[in-house]
Structures are given as structure tokens and as C-alpha cells.
């Protein structure tokens, strides 16, 4: 991503460093699915498979450190936000860097784990090529990513106010798979799931994205400034309600890749 985009995205995540763990409910659901995949493989092997060097890409406040540490002899976390890294209990072996400019040498990583992160890449196609480069032969990538079709409720509410872009656009799972194949990977597992977080008010639903730092919207559309009281009331009243309350839904893709 450009320097300006990198700075703005880092600022958003840094502001959410203290609130992230409390509000990252869907991210935790996605992580559980990824760990289920790791556990399933271990069951088939009959033992815990150890990865000598593991990269947790987009690790945030090291949410998954303890679970990942059971699968590796050497954990390295990488994140764009220094505040996210600093807010973690364990800041050992952390690298603050843009995932599009990985500060990792070639052929040194056995497993790249990435949960809810690669959607922030400015060029996933180039990112997959980088991941292929840093992995050892037979190395693996296990990731989840937000897909197109996500945040429809927020988009619907805002469209009652204006036609500007208030959510980011995301890739489809098939497109991410094609990027991985172009980089040279074998796709050994692919899946997709609709993960939903529900709130008791539309205000909490709208604020949920900011609470996890995912409110940096990259759009060419011209967006208006602060809303007046009547427009804000209209925004809240336009938020769709389900039987569970006010949902924030994410279409999430999962991939396992092998070099």
C-alpha cells in the first residue's frame, strides 16, 4: 500500500489497540476454524506437527500466540501497528512492518498463519508471491480473509444517507485462490463461511468496525463530513434488524496452501 494508506490504516488499528481483544468476536470465530484445520491434520498424523519457524501475519495484539506456540519452536508475529504489538502481554519476536513489504528473508518460514489480515493488502497477488518466497520447500500457509459480500448491513444503512462508499470492497474466494495458484502454490483446502456478530442497538453495530480498527475505508467516492442529528438518526433507523438484533455479517474465506 502507499505510504499514506499505510499510515492511515496503522492509525486506525493503533487507536483500537486497547479495545480490539474485547470486540474481535468474528475474528475469534475465524481463528477457531483455522485451528480446527490444524487439529484435524494432527489427528490424522496421530501427533502434534511442529513447525520450526512460524509467522503470524497480521497478528495484532498476539491474540493467537499461545495457541500457535503449541505448534512451533520459534514464533514470529508481524503487524503494521506498533501499538497493537505493544498492547500484547508477549511482545517477544515481533516485527512491525507492512505485509506488502515483508521484512522476512527467503526460504526460512515453515508455516504462515494469518487470520483476518490479508484483506488489508494493497496487492494480494504480490503478497502471495512474497509468501511463496519466504516459505521453505513444503512450507504451508493457513489463512482467513474477509470476502466480498461482507458488511452488507452497514452498507445498506449508509445508502439511506448517500451513495458514497462507506465499506471497503473485498475479493472473492475464487480470486484469492487464483492469486495463490499464480504464485506457485498448491491449494490443499478452501472453504467459505458467513460469520455474524449481533448487537442490541444499531449504534453498537456501526461502532463495532471502529472498535477493531477496521474503519479505514479506501474509496474514491467523495464522502460527506460529520452528519447532522437528523441524518444520523436516519442512519440508525435505516439499519436492518434481524431476529438476533442488529447484525454485522462477514463472508469469510479460508485457504490452506502448500509450496
56-68 tens-digit pLDDT: 999 999 999 999 9
Query: 46 pLDDT exceeds 80?
Result: no
What is the arithmetic mean of pLDDT over 86-106? 83
Report the pLDDT value the prediction gives residue 213, as an integer from 0 to 100.
Answer: 61
Tell me if 65 is assigned to some domain: yes
What is the arithmetic mean of pLDDT over 36-54? 80
What is the arithmetic mean of pLDDT over 212-240? 73
Neighbours of 50 (CB within 10 A): 12
Question: Using 50, 70 and 90 to split pLDDT, how confident is the model at 167?
Answer: confident
Tell me if 242 is assigned to some domain: no
Tell me if 178 is assigned to some domain: yes
Tell me if 215 is assigned to some domain: no
- The CA-atom distances, in angstroms, between 72 and each of 41, 56, 75, 76 are 15, 11, 6, 10
**Domain containing residue 118:** 3-148+169-196+250-258
Question: What is the helix (H) or strand (E) element at residue 96, kind and residue range?
Answer: strand 94-96
Report the pLDDT value the prediction gives residue 222, as an integer from 0 to 100.
Answer: 46
Between residues 46 and 166, the one the model is more confident about = 166
CB 212 within 8 A of CB 117: no
Report the pLDDT value the prediction gives residue 164, as an integer from 0 to 100.
Answer: 80
Tell me if 244 is assigned to some domain: no
Tell me if 95 is assigned to some domain: yes
Percent of the chain at pLDDT above 70? 81
Tell me if 241 is assigned to some domain: no
The answer to pTM > 0.85 is: yes
Q: Based on the structure, what is the number of domains in the chain? A: 1
What is the arithmetic mean of pLDDT over 127-141? 97
What is the arithmetic mean of pLDDT over 167-196? 97
- Cα–Cα nearest to 63, from 38, 97, 94, 89: 89
Report the pLDDT value the prediction gives residue 41, as an integer from 0 to 100.
Answer: 73
The CATH number that applies at residue 123 is 3.40.50.150
Tell me if 78 is assigned to some domain: yes
CA distance 74 to 55: 9
- Residue 226, classified by CB atoms within 10 Å of its CB into exposed (0-12), middle (13-18) or buried (19+), is exposed
Between residues 11 and 96, the one the model is more confident about = 96
**To the nearest 5 percent, what fractions of the chain are helix, strand and coil?**
40, 25, 35
Amino acid at each position: 500500500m502507499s505510504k499514506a494508506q499505510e499510515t492511515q490504516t496503522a492509525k486506525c488499528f493503533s487507536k483500537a489497540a486497547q479495545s480490539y481483544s474485547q470486540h474481535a468476536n468474528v475474528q475469534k470465530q475465524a481463528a477457531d476454524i483455522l485451528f480446527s484445520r490444524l487439529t484435524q491434520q494432527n489427528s490424522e498424523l496421530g501427533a502434534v506437527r511442529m513447525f520450526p519457524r512460524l509467522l503470524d501475519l497480521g497478528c495484532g495484539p498476539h491474540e493467537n500466540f499461545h495457541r500457535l506456540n503449541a505448534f512451533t519452536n520459534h514464533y514470529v508475529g508481524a503487524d503494521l501497528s506498533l501499538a497493537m504489538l505493544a498492547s500484547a502481554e508477549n511482545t517477544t519476536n515481533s516485527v512491525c512492518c507492512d505485509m506488502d513489504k515483508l521484512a522476512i528473508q527467503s526460504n526460512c518460514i515453515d508455516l504462515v498463519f494469518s487470520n483476518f489480515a490479508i484483506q488489508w493488502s494493497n496487492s494480494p497477488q504480490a503478497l502471495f508471491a512474497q509468501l511463496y518466497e519466504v516459505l521453505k520447500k513444503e512450507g504451508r500457509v493457513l489463512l482467513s480473509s474477509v470476502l466480498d459480500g461482507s458488511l452488507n448491513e452497514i452498507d445498506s444503512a449508509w445508502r439511506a444517507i448517500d451513495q458514497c462508499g462507506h465499506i471497503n470492497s473485498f475479493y472473492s474466494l475464487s480470486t484469492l485462490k487464483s492469486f495463490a495458484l499464480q504464485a506457485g502454490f498448491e491449494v490443499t483446502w478452501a472453504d467459505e463461511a458467513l460469520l455474524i456478530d449481533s448487537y442490541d442497538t444499531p449504534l453498537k453495530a456501526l461502532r463495532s468496525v471502529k472498535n477493531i480498527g477496521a474503519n479505514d475505508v479506501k474509496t474514491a467516492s467523495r464522502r460527506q463530513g460529520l452528519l447532522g442529528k437528523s441524518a444520523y438518526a436516519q442512519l440508525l433507523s435505516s439499519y436492518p434488524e434481524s431476529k438476533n438484533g442488529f447484525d454485522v455479517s462477514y463472508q469469510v474465506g479460508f485457504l490452506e496452501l502448500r509450496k
